[in-house]
Amino acid sequence: MTDAVESHMAKSSLSFVCQNCGAAYNRWQGKCEACGEWNTLSEEDNATAVPVSIRSKRKGRQFALESLSGKSQDAPRLSSGMAELDRVTGGGFVRGSVLLVGGDPGIGKSTLLTQATAMMARAGHRAVYISGEEAIAQVRLRAERLGLADAPVQLAAETSVEDIVSTLSEGAVPRLIVIDSIQTMWTDTVESAPGTVTQVRASAQALIRFAKKTGAAIILVGHVTKDGQIAGPRVVEHMVDAVLSFEGEGSQQFRILRAVKNRFGPTDEIGVFEMTGLGLREVTNPSELFLSERDLGAPGTAVFAGIEGTRPVLVELQALVAPTSLGTPRRAVVGWDPSRLSMVLAVLEAHCGVKLSGHDVYLNVAGGLRIQEPAADLAAAAALVSSLVNAQLPTDAVYFGEISLSGVVRPVAQTAARLKEAAKLGFGRAVLPESARGEVAGDAGLTLNPVGGLTTLVAEIAARGVPRGNREGSRDATAVEKNATPARFRRENG
Ligand code: TYD
Ligand code: MG
């Protein structure tokens, strides 16, 4: 072989791989054409290499073809022993499936999975915990703190996929294998450094193959970058059967496990946990938790009847609207979409005569829950106006409904489920979109207060407004009163 050919071959085995989506190129370029990200290409050896065993021209082995109705030897799903985790996976771990659990560092991924492995082991299943990040002593320390040190978990601190597969092929097939984390794993079949997309992808592939072959369920832990992506290996998200994301506000003890993708169950289902000194505690009734610290009777709070996955969740929205001392008023929001808040504020100004340009606005979703539904618009608007005019909202009311740019209150999905949860928790009335009334069959168990437009709601709240004593006279009902009197709305709407 001449030098020229050799160097050509060496060149062609080099490749540039997008660290975001895994697309490979043979030249460097600024933008990845596959995912549109900039500056994500980096050079990796053998990026597109296929393991030798697959490349060889062996004669194909013949395999048996099966029918759809055949019986599998074992129960297809295995409960983790934690109901909230089972809820998110869709009823337990599916045999031979691979699950990716992502989340910020320190959020509690290792804690959650240590608990799950221990529960499985205690139930008599072979459960394995492979830590690529922490030493055995550290994992043991955590288990001790969780009171799980006696659980017969099989523990190892390893990072070589070949060693792991070879070790776990011995003896009974493990029912659950936790790999903490996939970014620390590496395989001999590719030459790139650990942590690169190529390594992560090849390692995940090898582990997925092992899961499918043996029927073991595997959980891969994945790091998340600042912008919420599972760092680098988005490719892994496509390869696995389910992706769960573990979230929470740093200062809050509540943690939410969310299904982002699930081949075997619903997505957008949430599991709620509380981080305590003794590990994660399951929260079976999130509504009670999110309402537990309710400041009854304070102006500026409204209870939103939301839906998370298949489960209705009631949560308190807290607003503070106060005259600003700054040139540009502040808008701060925790747990909700800031652009959604801007939209609601704009609609309040444009259609309801609520002047907020001279006020700071703070909106907070209690309990660290992050709401994604537009159905929260109505509750947010009610809380904001309530704070502005210093009018307490009825403490037994829940709110839901989407607000359109024209100020119309639009219907949202699952009206009945929202009402049922509210009635169950002792609420007496619901403020909801007028057009949703038709969906309520029979007795909803609470008084319905349908609103067609945001103006109606604002007028109702303004009418309840008690101007503050002269000491605090600046937070004024007059900001609304001038434009939004009930009489004016009757005139306009009637
Ligand atoms: P950890 O599971 O190590 O997070 P991750 O694997 O996602 O990086 O959890 C880290 C945090 O959880 C740490 O700040 C301490 C806290 N923690 C508790 O509050 N209680 C506990 O019982 C445990 C084990 C951890
Ligand atoms: Mg960890």
321 and 207, same structural domain? no
Find out whether 157 and 134 touch, Cβ atoms under 8 Å: yes
464 and 480, same structural domain? yes
Q: How many domains does the chain have?
A: 3
148 and 108, same structural domain? yes
266 and 226, same structural domain? yes
Query: Is residue 458 one of the residues assigned to a domain?
Result: yes
CA 271/CA 325 separation, integer angstroms: 41
Average pLDDT over residues 437-441: 73
The last residue of one of the domains, among 247, 264, 284, is 284
Please list the helix, strand and coil fractions of the chain in percent, rounded to the nearest 5, in that order: 30, 25, 40
CA 27/CA 167 separation, integer angstroms: 39
CA 194/CA 184 separation, integer angstroms: 6
Ligand 2 mean position to 209 CA, how many Å?
24
**What percent of the chain is predicted at pLDDT more than 70?**
84
The last residue of one of the domains, among 253, 284, 315, is 284
- The residue nearest atom 10 of ligand 1, judged by CA position, is 106
User: For residue 166, is the peptide bond before it cis, meaning its omega torsion is within 30 degrees of 0?
Assistant: no
More confident residue, 4 or 147: 147
444 and 417, same structural domain? yes
Instruction: Report phi then psi at 206, rounded to 5.
Output: -65, -40
- The residue nearest atom 15 of ligand 1, judged by CA position, is 106
328 and 265, same structural domain? no
Q: Which tokens belong to 451?
A: 């609103």
Query: Is residue 70 one of the residues assigned to a domain?
Result: no
What's the predicted TM-score (pTM) here? 0.73
CATH assignment of the domain containing 155: 3.40.50.300
Query: Is residue 199 one of the residues assigned to a domain?
Result: yes
C-alpha closest to that of 297 among 476, 466, 473, 486: 466
**Residues sharing a CB contact under 8 Å with residue 494, sequence separation 6 or more, in sequence order:** none
Query: Is residue 119 one of the residues assigned to a domain?
Result: yes
Ligand 2 mean position to 180 CA, how many Å?
7
Condensed to tens digits (0 to 9), the pLDDT of residues 51-105 reads 555 555 667 778 878 777 766 555 588 899 899 999 999 889 999 999 999 988 8
306-315, 400-409, 468-477, range with greatest mean pLDDT: 400-409
Find out whether 180 and 109 touch, Cβ atoms under 8 Å: yes
Find out whether 422 and 444 touch, Cβ atoms under 8 Å: no
Q: Which ligand is nearest to the CA of 142?
A: 1
The last residue of one of the domains, among 284, 314, 331, is 284
Ligand 2 mean position to 156 CA, how many Å?
14
466 and 322, same structural domain? yes
Average pLDDT over residues 386-396: 92
In this predicted structure, the answer to whether residue 345 has a pLDDT above a threshold of 80 is yes
269 and 346, same structural domain? no
In this predicted structure, the answer to whether residue 483 has a pLDDT above a threshold of 90 is no
Query: Is residue 85 one of the residues assigned to a domain?
Result: yes
Average pLDDT over residues 252-281: 86
- The residue nearest atom 1 of ligand 1, judged by CA position, is 108
Query: Is residue 62 one of the residues assigned to a domain?
Result: no
Query: Is residue 67 one of the residues assigned to a domain?
Result: no
Q: Average model confidence (pLDDT) for the chain?
A: 83
Atom in ligand 1 nearest the alpha carbon of residue 145: 22
DSSP states of 141-197:
HHHHHTT-TTS--EEE---BHHHHHHHHTSSSPPSEEEEE-GGG-B-TTS-SPTTSH
Tell me the pLDDT band of 492, cut-offs 50, 70 and 90.
Answer: very low
**Residues sharing a CB contact under 8 Å with residue 450, sequence separation 6 or more, in sequence order:** 431, 432, 433, 434, 436, 437
CATH assignment of the domain containing 373: 3.30.230.10
486 and 411, same structural domain? yes
Q: Which ligand is nearest to the CA of 103?
A: 1
Give the N- to C-terminal CA distance of the chain in Å, as an integer: 91
Range of the domain at 31: 11-50
Atom in ligand 1 nearest the alpha carbon of residue 221: 6
Taking a 5 Å cut-off on Cβ, the residues next to ion ligand 2 are 110
More confident residue, 376 or 267: 376
Query: Is residue 448 one of the residues assigned to a domain?
Result: yes
313 and 276, same structural domain? no
318 and 275, same structural domain? no
186 and 163, same structural domain? yes
Question: In the beta sheet, which residues pair with residue 242?
Answer: 99, 262
Q: Which ligand is nearest to the CA of 184?
A: 2
